[in-house]
């Protein structure tokens, strides 16, 4: 009788535990990766990328940005799109001069240029001149670029078609897969017509090792800065409800972890706990060497 009662209690506890794990998994989006309002821009593009100037904006918001801060605002008319830097969405000491922010805005401009061509527009691009300044005390939107649109012939490209397939993966590089022999040369040629841009491609093992060691040391310096870490953590979205609410920042799904590790991390993280993503960052930086 005692054994039967023990087995019943054990079975009930097991059912409750399993049920709790499944509930937690659902609550944390283990079974819903890539779904929900946060991912609607990607899903909407696949259904219908749209037409006219608004299609340029839909492409722009799929661009890469530092920590997925999405630091952009747009003003759209029938014949133009203006891109503004939303300096309120900054990384603090991680990007004190907003350099990375403007790199992200450049990615948005490139997506718009590619999509404008596919939509049959000729573009007059006007970039706002600027210098690297500290983050203002009262951040406000700043005009970064203007695109004047007139009709021309449609020119689709493989790069434009790849826009909805771009996703960030912060995993270490797979060093066992060599690049095709022609790739380094093709990369070097990308900047051959640029006046203000130099592109360096390192082919030798010694050069790659030197660059890798520099990256590791830079990463160590960054993650040892407490203010930097605090400012960076502001953009970590480890709770599934926060992913859907804010629709920005870094999630567990983009950290390059194995699928089972991501699922386990989502389940065991306490609601108010913030993972120290930087501990994995230094490990992945070493994988580049």
Residues 157, 234: one domain? Answer: no
Q: In the Cβ-directed half-sphere of 263, how many Cα atoms lie within 13 Å?
A: 11
Residues 147, 64: one domain? Answer: yes
The pLDDT of residue 184? 85
| Domain C-terminal end among 117, 138, 165 | 165
Residues 80, 130: one domain? Answer: yes
DSSP-assigned states of every residue in 88-124: TS--GGGSTTSHHHHHHHHHHHHHHHHHHHHTTEEEE
d(CA 113, CA 116) in angstroms, rounded, equals 5
- 235 belongs to a structural domain: yes
Residue 95 has pLDDT above 90, yes or no: yes
pLDDT band for position 81 (cuts 50, 70, 90): very high
Residues 34, 110: one domain? Answer: no
Residues 208, 287: one domain? Answer: yes
Residues 132, 210: one domain? Answer: no
> What's the domain range around 105?
49-165
Number of domains in the chain: 2
Least confident of 71-80, 114-123, 250-259, 266-275: 266-275
d(CA 184, CA 112) in angstroms, rounded, equals 27
What burial letters (b/e) apply to 140-176, b meaning 16+ CB within 10 Å?
Answer: ebbebbbbebeeeeeeeeeebeebbeeeeeeeeeeee
pLDDT tens readout for residues 224-277: 888 988 898 899 888 888 888 999 998 878 777 777 766 666 666 644 444 455
Least confident of 97-106, 128-137, 279-288: 279-288
Q: What is the CATH number of the domain that holds 82?
A: 3.40.109.10
Residues 65, 139: one domain? Answer: yes
d(CA 84, CA 190) in angstroms, rounded, equals 27
- 67 belongs to a structural domain: yes
Q: Which residue has the higher pLDDT, 268 or 210?
A: 210
- 161 belongs to a structural domain: yes
The pLDDT of residue 21? 47
CB 238 within 8 A of CB 271: no
Residues 27, 53: one domain? Answer: no
- 128 belongs to a structural domain: yes
pTM over cut 0.85: no
pLDDT band for position 73 (cuts 50, 70, 90): very high
- 180 belongs to a structural domain: no
Element (H, E) at 80: strand 80-86
The pLDDT of residue 287? 58
The pLDDT of residue 12? 45
Residues 19, 77: one domain? Answer: no
Residue 288 has pLDDT above 80, yes or no: no
CB 144 within 8 A of CB 65: no
Q: Which residue has the higher pLDDT, 93 or 50?
A: 93
pLDDT band for position 15 (cuts 50, 70, 90): very low
Instruction: Quote the tokens at residue 143.
Output: 């005009």
- 53 belongs to a structural domain: yes
- 152 belongs to a structural domain: yes
Residues 83, 111: one domain? Answer: yes
Residues 6+ apart with CB under 8 A from 243: 29, 36, 38, 237, 249, 251
- 186 belongs to a structural domain: no
């Amino acid at each position: 009788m005692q054994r039967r009662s023990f087995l019943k209690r054990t079975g009930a506890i097991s059912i409750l535990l399993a049920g709790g794990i499944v509930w937690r998994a659902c609550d944390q989006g283990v079974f819903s990766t890539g779904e929900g309002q946060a991912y609607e821009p990607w899903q909407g593009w696949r259904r219908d990328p749209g037409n006219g100037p608004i299609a340029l904006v839909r492409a722009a918001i799929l661009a890469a940005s530092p920590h997925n801060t999405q630091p952009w605002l747009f003003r759209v008319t029938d014949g133009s799109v203006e891109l503004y830097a939303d300096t309120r969405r900054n990384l603090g000491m991680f990007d004190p001069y907003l350099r990375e922010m403007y790199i992200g805005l450049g990615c948005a401009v490139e997506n718009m240029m590619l999509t404008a061509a596919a939509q049959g527009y000729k573009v007059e691009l006007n970039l706002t001149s600027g210098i690297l300044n500290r983050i203002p005390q009262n951040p406000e939107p700043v005009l970064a670029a203007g695109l004047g649109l007139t009709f021309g012939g449609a020119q689709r490209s493989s790069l434009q078609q790849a826009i909805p397939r771009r996703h960030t993966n912060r995993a270490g590089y797979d060093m066992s897969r060599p690049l095709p022999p022609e790739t380094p040369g093709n990369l070097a040629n990308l900047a051959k017509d640029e006046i203000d841009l130099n592109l360096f491609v390192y082919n030798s093992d010694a050069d790659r090792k030197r660059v890798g060691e520099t990256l590791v040391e830079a990463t160590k310096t960054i993650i040892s800065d407490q203010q930097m870490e605090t400012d960076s953590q502001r953009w970590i979205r480890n709770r599934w409800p926060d992913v859907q609410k804010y629709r920005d920042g870094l999630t567990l799904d983009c950290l390059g972890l194995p699928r089972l590790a991501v699922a386990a991390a989502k389940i065991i993280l306490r609601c108010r706990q913030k993972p120290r993503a930087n501990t994995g960052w230094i490990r992945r930086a070493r994988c580049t060497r």
